[in-house]
Each structure stands twice: as structure tokens, then as C-alpha cells.
Amino acid sequence: MKKVIAVCGPTAVGKTRMGVSLAEALHGEVISGDSMQIYRTMDIGTAKVTEEEMQGIIHHMIDIKNPDETFSVSEFQKEVRHYIDTIDMPIVVGGTGLYIKGALYDYTFEETESKHDEIKAKYAHYTNEELHQYLASFDPQSALDLHPNNRQRVLRAIEIYEESGKRKSDILEAQEHKPVYDIYFVGLTLPRPILYDRINKRVDLMIEQGLEEEVKKIYDSGLSRNAQSMKAIGYKEWFDYFEGSKTKEQIIEEIKKHSRNYAKRQYTWFNNQFDVHWYDVNLEDFDSTIHQVLKDIEEWYKKISLTRLIFFEFSDICGSSVFKNSLIVFS
């Protein structure tokens, strides 16, 4: 299978720098695994990698959609797999767990034709809580997996059931979700107090860099808060300020709080879903963290290459499926 490096972890932990450093060392290219960095003009709030930060490394899956466009996990899967298949050393970097899993694992998405506008209109009079309770009445597992405020995903789960007669949770459970590549997951982490402090300071820096103005331009274009792109932390909060119901100080604190909560969920999700090799980031000497990751990747690469070599050599000699199956034990 194709070898892939995936850099994951909570927001503000240093994934961008790690991805670029690994790409430099391994002569690879970076594929963004962030569901919001795909949008043009949404640069500050998504902490999108800058030209300077790229250091000449090619980056894919950035600035491919306008904020008024939608982009599904299924579309993301198709695009990312295309790049993985054409890049010698693909390095997926990002914090959107479901998108990364959809691209790297044998996820099959329900192919029912989406009638989003119809389903949206049908349940327009439902509050988020009422809609979530309705989903729980026939698909309790999906209701557990989805936050009540994630109205779009809740509506999609309802739509799948009404169109196919199948619960979304049953569809997902029937899939084995095995990786379709040889993947080395690099997980970056920091002690929670340090991470939260970095998140708070990064939000302050975003404000200094012009986050309010960035979002205001999008708001003035007439884009609704219900747009997929406007579900992003750092963007969705500003609508209440622009409409006069909250102060700027309240918005900034909400962004910090939402970012901290998201970081906690990210770590839990990656830890539960992937076989991650976790690294405590050395902020005083980030290069030492990079060096350790590269050393471990080299060992991983040697291990899987040796396993394959032994397998094929014994297969050639024995020519027996019994021996072939037995050899897997030695890997």
C-alpha cells in the first residue's frame, strides 16, 4: 500500500510547522486536512498557512472553494485520494478528524441524492433541540455523535433515513473502516494549560491581524450564518456582534472558549479513532521534536519495508497460502 504520513492533533499545537518540516526532510508535499482552509478569503480565522510558512513546499486542498459553496466529506475523500495517488510522499496535515478518516480509511458514503433545500424547508420550524430529539427517536447513535447545534449534519442524518430507510449509524457500523494506506500518524500534544494559553494568545493575534475585518467583508457580501463556511470557529461568532446583540469583547471570549473546547474534542477524537504516535511538543526546541518524529518515521518505514520483503521472499519460496498467512504473524 501507498505510504502516507498524517500530522494531527488539537488546534494551535504546531501541526503546520511540523508538516512543512517533514515535507522538507522527506521530499514530500502537504495535503491540508482542514475542512475550513479550503475556503478563499478565510485566511486569518482558519490560521491558514502563509506563503512564508510554506517555505516553498507545495500545499494542496487550500483555497479551492468560495465561502458560499459547500464541500462534502465525500468530495474531500475523492480529491485527497487523487493527490495521494499522484504524490511520491504525501503528508496530510490538519485537525478535521472526520475528513482525514474519510480520506485515509475505507469509508463509503451514502449515495442517496441530497435534497438539502427540501429537507431544510421541511424542518425549518424545528429548533435545533427539537430536530436533534427527532433524530434520536429513530437513530439514537447518530444523535449521540452529533451536537444539537450542528444542524446541517443532523438534517443530513434525517435525510438519509427518510430517503433510504436506513439509519446513518447502521450504515457506518456496517463498514469495517480499515486504512487504505500504510499510515504513520504523528500526533502533537501539549499540557492543557499551555495549549489553552497558546489558543488564547493566538485569538488575540488574529484580532490584531484583522479577523473582524475579514469576517465583516464576508458578512457584507450577504452570506448567511447558515452557510457551511460560516460554521467555522472564529467566523460564526461575529454575526451576533454585527447584528448588535453582543459586544466585541463577548465575541472574542466566545472564540477563545469555542477554540479551547474544540481542541479538547480534537484530542479525544484522534486518540479514539486512529493509532496515533503522540509527541509532546518541545516549544523551547521544536527542532528536537521534529528530529524525534523523523527518526521514528525512518524506523517505521524500515519495519514495514522489511515485513514486505520477508513476506514476498517466503511467498516466492513456499508458494503456499498457508505459509503466506503464517508469515503475517512475524510482522
CA distance 115 to 275: 36
Dihedrals φ, ψ of 170, to 5°?
-70, -40
Work out the angle between the directed axes of helices 97-104 and 248-273 (0-180°, nearest 10): 30
Question: What pLDDT sits at residue 28?
Answer: 97
Strand, coil or helix: what is 4? strand
Can you give the pLDDT at residue 99? 93
| Amino acid found at 286 | F
- Which residues in 240-279 are b (16+ Cβ under 10 Å) and which e? ebeeeebeeeebbebbbebbbeebeebbebbeebbebeeb
pLDDT per position as a tens digit, 116-162: 788 889 999 999 999 999 999 999 999 888 878 888 889 989 999 99
- Which pLDDT score, from 0 to 100, does residue 115 have? 66
CB count in 10 Å sphere of residue 26: 18
Residues of the chain with pLDDT under 50: 311-331
Residue 28 contacts residue 87 (beta carbons within 8 Å) = yes
Residue 298, classed as helix, strand or coil, is helix
Cell of residue 313, nine digits: 521472499
Which residue bears the cell 472526520?
A: 98
What is the Cα gyration radius of the chain? 22
Angstrom distance (rounded) from CA 167 to CA 110: 10
Instruction: Show the cell assigned to 15.
Output: 501541526
Q: What is the separation of C-alpha 295 from the centre of its chain, rounded to a whole number of angstroms? A: 25
Q: Where are the alpha helices (DSSP H) in the chain?
A: 15-26, 51-54, 73-86, 97-104, 116-122, 128-138, 140-145, 151-164, 168-173, 192-209, 211-220, 238-242, 248-273, 286-318, 321-327
Phi/psi of residue 198, nearest 5 degrees: -65, -40
Q: What angle do CA 239, 254, 19 make, to 5 degrees?
A: 100
- How confident is the model at residue 110, as a pLDDT? 59
Task: For the chain, give the number of residues.
Answer: 331
Regarding beta strands 29-32 and 59-60, do their DSSP bridges make them parallel or antiparallel, or are they unpaired? parallel
Q: Residue 139 has what pLDDT? A: 94
Give DSSP secondary structure letters for 174-188: TS---BSSEEEEEEE
* CB neighbours of residue 296 within 10 Å: 14
pTM of this structure:
0.81
CA-to-CA dists, residue 290 to 19, 55, 293, 298, angstroms: 10, 16, 5, 12
**Largest Cα–Cα distance in the chain?**
76
Q: What is the pLDDT of residues 29-54, one digit of tens each?
A: 999 999 999 999 999 999 999 999 99
Three-class secondary structure of residue 76 per DSSP: helix
pLDDT digits (tens, 9 = 90+) for 91-120: 999 999 989 999 999 987 655 555 678 888
Whether 292 and 306 have beta carbons less than 8 Å apart is answered as: no
Counting beta carbons within 10 angstroms of the beta carbon of residue 325, is it exposed (0 to 12), middle (13 to 18) or buried (19 or more)?
exposed
Are 189 and 10 spatial neighbours (Cβ–Cβ below 8 Å)? Answer: yes
